Amino acid sequence: MTVFYLVAFLAIFFALMTIFTKNPVHSVLYLVITFFTLTIHYILLNAQFLAVVNFIVYMGAIMVLFLFVLMLLNLNKESEPMKSNFVKIMGAIAGMCLIATLLGAFRVIEPNNQMVVGNEEVGLVKNLGKVLFKEFLLPFEISSILLLTAMVGAVLLAKKDVKKV
Amino acid sequence: MENIVQNIQGVPLNHYIIFCSIIFAIGVIGVLIRRNVIIIMMSIELMLNAVNLLLAAFSAYRGDASGQVFVFFVMALAAAEVAVGLAIIIMVYRNTKSVDIETLSKLRW
């Protein structure tokens, strides 16, 4: 139980560091740590498959992609565009208003203090695979088409135009 | 052993909801206050992850595997979105030599 609060605190702290650090490379590294804490959350929820996928796909693939692009563009602290202080304060206030609204909304709905106790069977690959390939077969196939489209689109967009150069 | 697992896991559902909304709001603040396009995309990833964790928490709470399958789909979607988004950013950078989102304001005309 205390593990949850410790990891939640760490996740919030590193998420804040992600958006407030000036250097973009540090920002990406903090985001990686945030995702790592979320992986610990998945393990606490008994969602083992999701924890592994989060670890490999998010931290391994997506964040490395971000890091590659940042280093390819050679961005650092000096070239980092910053908004004026006024816009920053307004943005922070808007975010606080969002949190306040959400928390107020949760107070109105009936207080639900039942414990989340993860079922050991639900998060395993065997069980998830059965659900994925029986009830969600069509979305699964469509998502494969989506990934193919994204791959073709990414290559097409990032490729240099041969005729112009 | 059972007792340890119970001690690790017994967290009220409300606390998961509050935690995930805080992370989501941090993502929203990040989108609002930064001008670097890449950081804005990272904030969007943060928001997606907050929703993912909440879906997984509800799934564990209800003992239903559908929520975790949804998280799986969201992850696939996020991967596709990041690939296309970063390709667009590279193309914009090649044309304008900047990742500042203000330089894109000329798209209005």
pLDDT digits (tens, 9 = 90+) for A28-71: 999 999 999 999 999 888 888 889 999 998 888 888 888 888 88
Q: Please give the residue range of the domain that contains residue B21.
A: 2-108
Mean pLDDT of A111-135: 78
The answer to whether the predicted template modeling score (pTM) of the entire model surpasses 0.80 is: yes
Whichever domain contains B53, its CATH number is 1.10.287.3510
Q: In chain A, where are the structural domains located?
A: 2-121
3-state helix, strand, coil in chain B (%, to 5): 85, 5, 10
pLDDT confidence of residue B9 = 63
Residues 118-147 of A with CB under 8 A from B: 118-119, 122-123, 127-128, 131-132, 135-136, 139-140, 143, 146-147
Q: List the single residue in B17, B26, B68 with the smallest CB-CB distance to A47.
A: B68
Domain count along chain B: 1
Closest CA to A54 of A40, A72, A74: A40
Instruction: Give the residue with greater pLDDT, A2 vs A149.
Output: A149
At the topology level, CATH places domain A2-121 in Four Helix Bundle (Hemerythrin (Met), subunit A) (1.20.120)
Q: Which residue is listed with tokens 């090649």?
A: B94
